[in-house]
Homo-oligomer: A and B are copies of this chain.
């Protein structure tokens, strides 16, 4: 413990975890455009350049932040439980595998709801980070277990991960540019009233969805589409197993 007090200003001390967690805090609070290296340095109480000792640049920092959150999703996927949809089968292998997929997908979706910048950011950066690969692996294994062909496994896994981040990004986008202090119901109302101002002939279907949109719950909406995909995968599995019989 150096107890030597002096007039020279204290030098700040950082760590990669500390940098990433306050970066995530800023992103959650101010959005993607609100994260600035200067602001981050200020919040860390240090100098601008020191960040570059831990990280190669802003892009790598964002990539690491995403990877950390995908990591949290992986942890949550192992602990969470979920009641899945009614399946066409009670084959325990299939029921367990589909439940696993559902938990995995839901866990990442949850993270994108907590961190609205996450889904678009995951798409903006293509690099396959370690936890993204683990996530993909976690989507693939159950598909192999239920007996799909390699092509079906491959297509199914990318369909699932594309669906998760796609719908998540779609939902985040509505919150992204909105004032976070206004209650959610008010924001939905405002969006709906914009629809209703559009041509009721050209947008007749959209108009018919106004109530639906006001009532909707993001989690249920996400789960509903997910179950369409999972149901399709179950059918592929069942078609295969009757082939073999």
Contact = CB atoms under 8 A, between A and B. Distances in A.
Nearest to A124: B120
Given A164-B166, A224-B155, A137 B206 contact: yes
Interface of A is mostly: helix
Interface string A188-208: 000100110010001111101
Nearest to A162: B167
Interface residues of A, number: 68
A153 B216 CA distance: 12
Q: What is the oligomeric copy number? A: 2
A84 to B, nearest CB: 14
A159 B128 CA distance: 25
Interface stretch (A14-22, A35-43, A231-239): A231-239
Given A127-B177, A221-B158, A169 B163 contact: no
Nearest to A166: B166
B163 A216 contact: no
